[in-house]
Structure 1
Amino acid sequence: MSFELIGFVTVLVGLGVLMAPIHWALTFMVVSTTLGSAAAINLPALGGASILVPNVFLLFFGVRILMAYGEGPVLAAFVPAGSGFWLMVLTLFGVLTAVLSPRLFQGAVDVMTVERSVGARSFIALSPLRSSSNNITQAVYALGGLACFGFCHAYLRRPGAPSHLVSAILIAATVNLAFAAADIVTYFSGTEYLLSVVRTANYALLTAAEKGGLKRISGSFPEASAFADYTLVLFAATASLWLDRIRSRLTAALALASLAGLVFSTSATALLGLAVVFPFLWIRSIITVFQRKNPGRPVFLAALFLIVPLVLLTVVNLFPEMVSTVYDFLDEMLLSKVDSQSGRERAMWNAAAYEAFVNTFGMGAGLGSARASSYLLVLLSNVGVLGLVIFCIFVATILCARVPLAAQRRVEGLAALRAAKAGFVAALSTSLVSGTVYDLGLLFYILAGSVSALTCLQISDVAARRTRLVGAASPRRIGGS
C-alpha cells in the first residue's frame, strides 16, 4: 500500500473536519468528488487498484455524521419501501453476486475485464470469467455508495441543511471549473506536471488529447469524457438553481461556464446528455407555471425555444463557411464516432457484455466481473435481470419522490430538491450512454441521498412544529406588551 501526497492532505483535512462545524463535512465531501483522478492510496496487492480521495474522505464524513446524530438517522435512510431500502437491496445483492457468480460460471463465460501487466499498467481484455480484484473493488465501491447515501440522508433531513447543499454544489462547480482552466493553461504552457498532484490514480490518463484542433478539457479527471460526465451533473444542478431564482447571478455564471466546459471537452456523451437535460429543465420549468406563483423563468425559456431556431437559420444563411466547419467538427465528434477505433472497441465491449448476460442465463457474471459501454449492459452483465429490476425501482422512487405539502413553502429546500433531481437525471443520462462499471461515483449517491432526505416527512414535521410554536408564542408577546 502506498500513500500519495494528496492522500496525506485528505487525512489532515478529514481530521480537521471532525472538529469543525458539521456543515463543513458535507461541503468537503461534495467538493472532494471533483478529484476524479486523484488516488489517495494505491494498492499493489490488489493489482494496483486505486482508492480515490472521495472514498477516503467518506470515512471522515461518516464519522462526523455519527458523532453528531448517531446511527439512528443513518439507518432511517433504509426503511422499507423507500429509495434507500431498494439501494440497500441492490447493493447487498450485488456484493453477493461478486462472491458467487464468478465461481459459479468460472471459465464458462468470456468477459471484458481489466487486466494488469508488469508495472501495474492496466488494459482491458477479453478473458474467461474468474474471480479477480475487480470484484473486490466494485463491491467496496458499492458499499461505499450505500453508506454515502445514508450519511447524506441523515444530514440533509435536518432543517437548514438544504442551503448547505446548495452552497456545496456551487463550490464544487467553481472548483471543477478552476481545474478545467488549469488544465488548459498548463497544457499550452508546457507545465502539465503541476497537475500531477491530482493525477495519481493508476488509470490510463488521456489528458493531452485534441479533437478538431481543440484541447479536450479533462480538468482533474483522467480523460475528457469523465470530466464531461461530471460537469454535466453540475451544469444541470446549477441551471436548475438558476431557474428557481436561487443566487441568480452566481448560478447563471456557473451554469454558463459549465456549459462552455462541456462544449470544449468535445465529448459526444456530454452532447447527448445535454439533449436530455435541456428538455428536462424546460418541461419542469413550464410545469411550475401551473403549480406556484413564482415559476422558474418559463417566459425566458419559451422565448429561447423560439429564438434559437431563428438564430440558427440566420447563421446558416449569413455564414455558410462557419456552418461547414461546425459540421465537420460535429461529424468527427458524433456522426463518425461509431466508425472510429474507440467506437469499434466500445461496440465490442457491449457485444461481450450481452454474451455474458445470455451465457449466464440472465443471472449476470457478478459485480465487477464485466465491463461494457452502456450502464444498461453493465447491469445486465454484472447483476442480471433481477439487479436491473431493483435498480429501476430505486430510480423510480427517487424521480417520483415529492416534497410533503407542509414543506413546499420552503423555497430553498424545494430548489435544492429540484437541483438534486436534475443532477441525478444528468448522471443517469450519461451513464446509460457510456457507463463502463457499476459504480456511478459518490456524487450520484450524494444527490440520491439528498432527494431522499429532502422528501422526508421529518423535515416538514419539524418546520410545522416550529410554526405552531411561533404562532402560540405570539399572543403572549402581544398580551405582555
Structure 2
Amino acid sequence: MLFSIPGLAVCAVVLIVAYYSRGMLIVGLLASLAFGATSAMTLTSVGGSTPLIYTLFAALLVTAVTARRHIWFELGSVLGSIRPIWILASLMAYAIVGSWLFPRFFAGQTVVFVQAKTRGGVVEAALAPVSGNISQTGYFILGGLTAIALCTLLLHSNRIDQIRRGFFLWCGLHAGMGLIDFVGKNSGAGDLLAPIRTASYQILTGAIEAGFVRINGAFSEASSFAGASLACLAFSYTYWRKTKSHLAQWLAGILLFLTILSTSSTAYVGLTILCIPVAISMTTSLLRGKVEREEILIIAIMALGTVAVLGISLYNAGALDPIIRLINSTIINKANSASGEERAYWNVKSLQSFLDTSGLGIGFGSSRASSWPIAVLSQLGLFGSLMMATLVAVLARGVGREREWLDPETDAVVLSVRNAALASIVAISLSAGSADPGMIFFIAFAVVCAAKVRARRSSIAFERTGHQLLAHAA
C-alpha cells in the first residue's frame, strides 16, 4: 500500500471543515464527493487500484456506526421498519457471490471489455476473473453498508440539517473547483487542480472540443464532471424552488453555467432530459394561472437569452459558428465519431454477454459498458437487475403520501436529495461503465427511506393522540 501526500492533505482539510460544520461523519462524506480524481492511497494488492477519498469517509462512517453502544438494537429497528433494506442486503450478497462465481463458471464463453494491464485503455478479451471483480464489488458493498449506516443514524436522531449542510458543501466545492479549472485553462495558467488529481485514472484535462476547452473541475474527465454537475444542479434548483434560498439560487446558476461549458455530451443530453419535468411543471402553472416569481424569472432569462442569440446572429452571421460546431460534435455527430462507435460496440457486446450467460450475468466488475442500465443487466443478470430496479423505484417514489407529516425544511431537503440522485442516474445511464450506481444513490436511498419511516411514525403518534383525546372527552 502506497500513500499519497496530496490525497491525505485533502482528507485532512475535509475533516477539519466537516468538524467545524458540526457533522464530521455525514458532512465529511458528502464534501469528499467533490474530489472525483483524488486518492489517498494505492492498493498494490488489488491491481494498483486507487480508491477515491470518499471511500475513506464512507468506511469511517460505517465503522463509527458499527461501534455504537446499541448498534444491534438500532440495526434491528432499521431492518424491521425499512423493508427495502432487505432487498439492498440481498443484492449485496448476490453481487458478492456473482463476482466470484460467474467469471469462473462462464470463463471463455463470452467477450468482455477490461482495462489493459500493459497499456492504457480498454481491450476486448474473453471472460475471466479480473481485479475489477474485487474493486468494483468493494465499492458497491461499501455503498450499501453506507446506506444501512445512514439509515441507522437518521432513523434514531434528526440529522437532516447535517444532510443539508453536507449537500451544500458538496455543491459549493464542486462549483468552486469548476470555476478554478475554467479560469485556469482559459487564462493560460493551465490545470491548476493537477496536484490533487492523484488517482491512477486516465486524466484528460487538456482536451479541446470544437475549439472549446473542456471543463473537468476536480474530476479526471469532462464527462464525470458533467455527471456530478447535473446532480448538484438538481439539488440546488429543487431546494431553491422549495425554500426560495438565495444561496441555492446562485449555486444553481453557477452550476448551470459550468454544465453548459463542460462541452460534454453527457451534460447536454442529461440537461435536456432534466428540463422536461421543469417544463411540464412551468406549463402546468401557466395553465392554472398560478405562476410563481421564480418561474417568471426563468422564463425572462430564457427570453433574454433567445433575443441575445438572435441579435448576435443578425449582427454577425458567423459569430455562432463555434457553438454550432460544438453542438454538432457533442450531440448530432457524436454517434458517428470513433468514441461513439466504440462505446456503442461496448454496449452491444455487453448485451450479448447477458444472452451468452442465459441471463445470469458475468459478475460484478467483469466488464465495462457505456451505459449504467446495460452494465447492470450484463453484470448482475436478470435477477440482480430486478432488485436494482426495485431500489430505483423506491428512490423515485420518495416519501409518497407520508410527506405531509414532514416539516417544510425536511421535505425540501429530502426532495432535493432525491432529485440529485435521480439526476445522477440519468447521467450514468448515458455514459457510466460500471453497475455501481454511485455513492450519491445510496445516500439518497437512506435519506428517503429514513424520512418515510419517521413521517409514518409521526402520523401514527398523531392518530393515537387524537384517539386518546376523544376517549378522554367521552
The TM-score normalised by the length of structure 2 is 0.87
Within a 5 Å distance, the mapping from 1:52-451 to structure 2 comes to: 52-67=52-67, 70-71=70-71, 72-74=73-75, 76-79=77-80, 82-117=83-118, 122-157=120-155, 160-188=158-186, 192=190, 195-247=193-245, 249-283=246-280, 297=294, 320-402=317-399, 405=402, 407-408=404-405, 410-451=407-448
Deviations 1:420-447 (A, max 9, x none): 1211211111111111112232122212
* Aligned partners of 1:404 and 1:457 also within 8 Å: no
Deviation at residue 464 of structure 1 after TM alignment: 5.6
Distance 1:363 1:387 in 2: 8
* Aligned partners of 2:354 and 2:378 also within 8 Å: yes
SS of corresponding position for 2:136 = helix
Deviation at residue 309 of structure 1 after TM alignment: 6.9
Q: Amino acid of the residue matched to residue 170 of structure 1?
A: F
Moved more, 312-321 or 156-165: 312-321
Distance change in 2, residues 1:290/1:444 (3 Å): farther
Deviation at residue 463 of structure 1 after TM alignment: 11
Distance 1:331 1:272 in 2: 13
Aligned to 2:472: none
Distance change in 2, residues 1:444/1:413 (3 Å): same
Moved more, 147-156 or 267-276: 147-156
SS of corresponding position for 1:51 = coil
Q: Which runs of 5+ in 1 are unaligned?
A: 473-481
Moved more, 135-144 or 395-404: 395-404
Distance change in 2, residues 1:46/1:63 (3 Å): closer
Deviation at residue 341 of structure 1 after TM alignment: 1.8
Moved more, 450-459 or 345-354: 450-459
Q: Amino acid of the residue matched to residue 213 of structure 2?
A: K
Deviations 1:320-370 (A, max 9, x none): 434444322200111111122211211221122122112111111111011
Aligned to 1:476: none
Q: Amino acid of the residue matched to residue 183 of structure 1?
A: D
Q: Amino acid of the residue matched to residue 47 of structure 1?
A: G
Distance change in 2, residues 1:381/1:405 (3 Å): closer
* Aligned partners of 1:403 and 1:454 also within 8 Å: no
Deviation at residue 14 of structure 1 after TM alignment: 8.5
Deviation at residue 298 of structure 1 after TM alignment: 5.2
Deviations 1:1-52 (A, max 9, x none): 1011144346656887998886232111101011111111112222211111
Q: Amino acid of the residue matched to residue 107 of structure 2?
A: Q
The TM-score normalised by the length of structure 1 is 0.86
Distance 1:386 1:135 in 2: 18
Deviation at residue 67 of structure 1 after TM alignment: 5.0
Deviations 1:196-250 (A, max 9, x none): 3321111100011111222111011110100000111000000000110252x11
Deviation at residue 393 of structure 1 after TM alignment: 1.2
Distance 2:421 2:218 in 1: 21
Deviations 1:446-466 (A, max 9, x none): 12221222222367539967x
Q: Percent identity?
A: 23
SS of corresponding position for 1:203 = coil
Distance 1:323 1:210 in 2: 18
**How many residues in Structure 1 have an aligned counterpart in Structure 2?**
464
Distance 1:464 1:12 in 2: 43
Distance change in 2, residues 1:288/1:9 (3 Å): farther
SS of corresponding position for 2:50 = strand
Distance change in 2, residues 1:285/1:241 (3 Å): farther
* Aligned partners of 2:209 and 2:263 also within 8 Å: yes
Q: Do structure 1's residue 456 and structure 2's residue 453 form an aligned pair?
A: yes
Aligned to 1:478: none
Distance 1:42 1:288 in 2: 52
Q: Amino acid of the residue matched to residue 394 of structure 1?
A: L
SS of corresponding position for 1:244 = helix
